[in-house]
Amino acid sequence: MKAELVRIGNSRGIRIPKAILEQCRLRDTVDLRVEEECLVISAKRAPRQGWNEAFSAAGPANKDPLLLDSIPASEFDREEWRW
């Protein structure tokens, strides 16, 4: 789809059709970034949005072994290290 840039003061803008706005779930505020000379417009998301769901999907943390307990103690650990 082609769109023309329109003057808005000293800037330029584009008109995004309603169907695209709805499909991309774009509201009043969006995130803009440049990737390899391309302008990427994405829906504004709250920081860490969806993290709770991702942690829940990963399963309970009480079954994770402690990594330090699986490493054998070195000579330093056995003889020199003191609290």
Whole-number Å distance between alpha carbons of 51 and 60: 14
CATH code, 1-44? 2.10.260
DSSP string, 51-75: HHHHHHHH--GGGSPPTGGGSPP-H
Q: Which tens digit of pLDDT belongs to each residue from 1-44?
A: 899 999 999 999 999 999 999 999 898 999 999 999 999 999 88
Query: Is 44:27 a contact under the CB 8 Å cutoff?
Result: yes
- Confidence (pTM): 0.51
Q: Spell out the domain ranges in the chain.
A: 1-44
